[in-house]
């Protein structure tokens, strides 16, 4: 009879830095029949904070009740910790307006089993991407919004997030500013994509503005959503070099490619529990 595959788990933790943390955590895992598959840690000297991510397999079944067995270590070292079942696919909600490159990219990755996620729904304030969404077997919710209806629309959105037990909200070019109340409700579980490296080109048509100014680099930033617009903790960034011979259309296409890749990386790292918050910054265990 084929031996069952060991269950796998991911432990993430943050605590004040001091000697012995790695030994204590790995000791509990080893003593309970768990084998560490990969481990990463980082000590931030400036804040005297320790960060760790451990991916391990429970090879003997001795890891049952591991949460209780970890509590003495958690108490001793003042750990802020989370233990995740590695087989669980976080439940994701995608939001979009009228520009669909990031949505299309994420749906393709999801349908191709390239995202360790369960995309539960797509929400939009327009109808444009209903057919695309439903072609992937995903429910599409049209939630139109105006200044007068914003509070009611956001209440409906929060009900949907609660009903679907959403772990992560992804603003895949959702071109509406979320209220401070909604941002706080989604703290640490909402990611936005922003055309970065263009800080002087705000508002509509940023790539056209960049083209007119002759920039040499365009890029994108994925960050957590906060009530400070486009200033949340940065998760990932990338750039692409551009030149004077390129048209606005070529600028825009290249910029959208960068946005799609940067957002996909950020979503992947979130669902794999590779992102730990460090104040206004992030620690990314790649």
CATH number at 61 reads 3.30.70.260
100 domain-assigned: yes
235 domain-assigned: yes
Higher pLDDT, 212 or 129: 129
Let me know whether 145 and 77 are in one domain: no
Let me know whether 134 and 257 are in one domain: yes
Let me know whether 73 and 102 are in one domain: no
**Looking at the predicted structure, is the pLDDT value of residue 229 above 90?**
no
Beta strands in 135-264 (DSSP E): 139-142, 168-171, 190-194, 217-224, 234-241
* Alpha-carbon gap, residue 281 to 264, rounded angstroms: 19
Let me know whether 23 and 97 are in one domain: no
**Looking at the predicted structure, is the pLDDT value of residue 2 above 80?**
no
pLDDT at 205: 81
pLDDT band at 250 (very low <50, low <70, confident <90, very high): very high
Residue 68: partners with Cβ closer than 8 Å, 6 or more residues away: none
1 domain-assigned: no
Let me know whether 50 and 99 are in one domain: no
Element at 79 (helix H, strand E) = none
Let me know whether 64 and 114 are in one domain: no
Let me know whether 223 and 124 are in one domain: yes
Q: Which residues are catalytic?
A: 230
60 domain-assigned: yes
Examine the fold and report which residue of 85, 115, 150 is the final residue of a domain before the chain moves on: 85
Let me know whether 133 and 26 are in one domain: no
- 128-132, 198-202, 221-225, 257-261: least confident range: 198-202
pLDDT at 269: 98
Let me know whether 21 and 63 are in one domain: yes
Examine the fold and report which residue of 23, 55, 85 is the final residue of a domain before the chain moves on: 85
15 domain-assigned: yes
Let me know whether 142 and 209 are in one domain: yes
- 16-25, 88-97, 133-142, 232-241: least confident range: 232-241
Let me know whether 146 and 238 are in one domain: yes
CB distance 173 to 102 below 8 Å = yes
pLDDT at 199: 47
Examine the fold and report which residue of 85, 109, 135 is the final residue of a domain before the chain moves on: 85
Task: Over range 91-118, report the average pLDDT.
Answer: 97
The radius of gyration of the chain from alpha carbons, rounded to an integer in Å, stands at 21
Please tell me the total count of domains within the chain.
Answer: 2
- 18-32, 80-94, 244-258: least confident range: 244-258
pLDDT at 204: 72
2 domain-assigned: no
| pTM for this model (two decimals) | 0.93
Let me know whether 125 and 228 are in one domain: yes
**Looking at the predicted structure, is the pLDDT value of residue 14 above 70?**
yes
Beta strands in the chain (DSSP E): 7-16, 34-44, 49-58, 80-85, 91-96, 118-124, 139-142, 168-171, 190-194, 217-224, 234-241, 275-278, 281-284
**Looking at the predicted structure, is the pLDDT value of residue 202 above 90?**
no
| Average pLDDT of the residues of the chain | 93
pLDDT band at 114 (very low <50, low <70, confident <90, very high): very high
- The domain in which residue 131 lies consists of 91-284
**Tokens standing for 260?**
């799609």
**Tokens standing for 207?**
């790539």
Looking up tokens 């003495």, which residue turns up? 72
Residue 48: partners with Cβ closer than 8 Å, 6 or more residues away: 16, 17
């Amino acid at each position: 009879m084929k031996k069952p595959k060991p269950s796998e788990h991911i432990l993430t933790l943050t605590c004040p830095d001091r000697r012995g943390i790695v030994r204590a955590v790995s000791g509990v895992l080893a003593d309970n029949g768990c084998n560490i598959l990969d481990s990463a840690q980082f000590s931030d000297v400036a804040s005297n904070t320790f960060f760790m991510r451990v991916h391990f397999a429970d090879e003997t079944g001795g890891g049952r009740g591991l949460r209780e067995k970890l509590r003495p270590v958690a108490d001793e070292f003042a750990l802020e910790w989370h233990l995740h079942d590695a087989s669980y696919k976080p439940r994701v909600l995608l939001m979009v307006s009228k520009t669909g490159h990031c949505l299309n990219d994420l749906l393709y990755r999801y349908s191709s089993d390239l995202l360790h996620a369960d995309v539960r729904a797509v929400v939009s304030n327009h109808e444009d991407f209903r057919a695309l969404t439903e072609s992937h077997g995903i429910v599409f919710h049209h939630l139109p919004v105006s200044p007068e209806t914003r509070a009611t629309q956001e209440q409906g959105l929060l009900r949907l997030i609660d009903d679907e037990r959403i772990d992560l909200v992804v603003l895949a070019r959702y071109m509406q500013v979320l209220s401070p109340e909604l941002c706080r409700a989604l703290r640490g579980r909402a990611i936005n994509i922003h055309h970065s490296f263009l800080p002087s080109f705000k508002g509509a048509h940023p790539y056209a503005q960049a083209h007119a100014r002759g920039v040499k680099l365009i890029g994108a930033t994925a960050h957590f959503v906060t009530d400070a617009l486009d200033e949340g903790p940065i998760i990932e960034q990338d750039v692409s070099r551009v030149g004077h011979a390129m048209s606005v259309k070529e600028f825009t296409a290249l910029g959208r490619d960068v946005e799609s890749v940067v957002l996909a990386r950020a979503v992947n790292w979130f669902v794999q529990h590779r992102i730990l918050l460090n104040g206004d910054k992030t620690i990314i265990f790649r």
